[in-house]
């Protein structure tokens, strides 16, 4: 029973992102970069983005911390690349709604891609903040390129 709860939290997709994080290289010459720290646990997320023609054309994302934070950072980077800035704002909103426990439509879940897998964290409320650390970094970066 306990084991299956754990398996629900650390689904294969989460562990896989953790082991092979996407867009892990630091983006040089990025248009914006942001760094967020969870003062409570010391976890960190770094996000760099390049923007061209109203679209994110490059993403770099690095996490220091637990596997949930690492997976969320990787999934977010993956979901961000090549997305129109307008769409990105609503994607972030969608993800935040998911992590508040809102029921999302199948269409919305499909939009979230791998990020949808993080709904498993909802059963472990104390870990939800781990999924939002890279989101705050991305929002901060977007704000500094004037789209937040």
Closest approach, Cβ 125 to other proteins, in A, equals 11
By CB under 8 A, residue 122 contacts other proteins: no
* Residue 119 token pair: 């709904």
How many beta carbons lie within 10 A of that of residue 33, not counting itself?
Answer: 16
Distance CA 68, CA 107 (A): 24
By CB under 8 A, residue 128 contacts other proteins: no
Distance CA 64, CA 54 (A): 30
Q: Report the Cα–Cα distance between both ends of the chain, in Å, rounded.
A: 43
In the region spanning residues 36 to 55, those forming contacts with other proteins, defined by CB under 8 A, are: 40-44
Nearer to other proteins, 91 or 130 (CB): 130
Nearer to other proteins, 67 or 78 (CB): 67
Q: Which stretch binds other proteins (CB under 8 A): 58-66, 83-91, 97-105, 112-120?
A: 58-66
Look at strands 55-64 and 44-52 and give their pairing: antiparallel
By CB under 8 A, residue 9 contacts other proteins: yes
* Residue 96 token pair: 């935040």
In the region spanning residues 59 to 98, those forming contacts with other proteins, defined by CB under 8 A, are: 64-68
Single out the residue of 24, 124, 140, 148 in contact with other proteins (rule: CB under 8 A): 124
Nearer to other proteins, 20 or 105 (CB): 20
Look at strands 32-37 and 44-52 and give their pairing: antiparallel
Distance CA 66, CA 56 (A): 27
- Residue ranges binding other proteins (CB under 8 A): 1-3, 5-6, 9-10, 15, 19, 40-44, 64-68, 124, 127, 130
């Amino acid at each position: 029973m306990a084991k299956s709860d754990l398996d629900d939290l650390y689904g294969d997709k989460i562990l896989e992102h953790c082991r092979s994080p996407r867009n892990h290289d630091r983006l040089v010459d990025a248009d914006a970069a942001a760094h967020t720290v969870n003062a409570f646990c010391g976890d960190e997320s770094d996000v760099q983005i390049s923007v061209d023609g109203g679209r994110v054309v490059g993403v770099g994302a690095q996490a220091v911390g637990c596997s949930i934070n690492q997976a969320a950072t990787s999934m977010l980077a993956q979901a961000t690349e090549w997305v129109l800035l307008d769409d990105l704002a609503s994607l972030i909103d969608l993800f935040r709604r998911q992590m508040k426990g809102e029921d999302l439509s199948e269409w919305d879940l499909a939009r979230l891609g791998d990020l949808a897998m993080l709904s498993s964290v909802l059963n472990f409320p104390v870990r939800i903040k781990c999924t939002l650390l890279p989101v705050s970094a991305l929002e901060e970066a977007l704000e500094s390129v004037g789209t937040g």
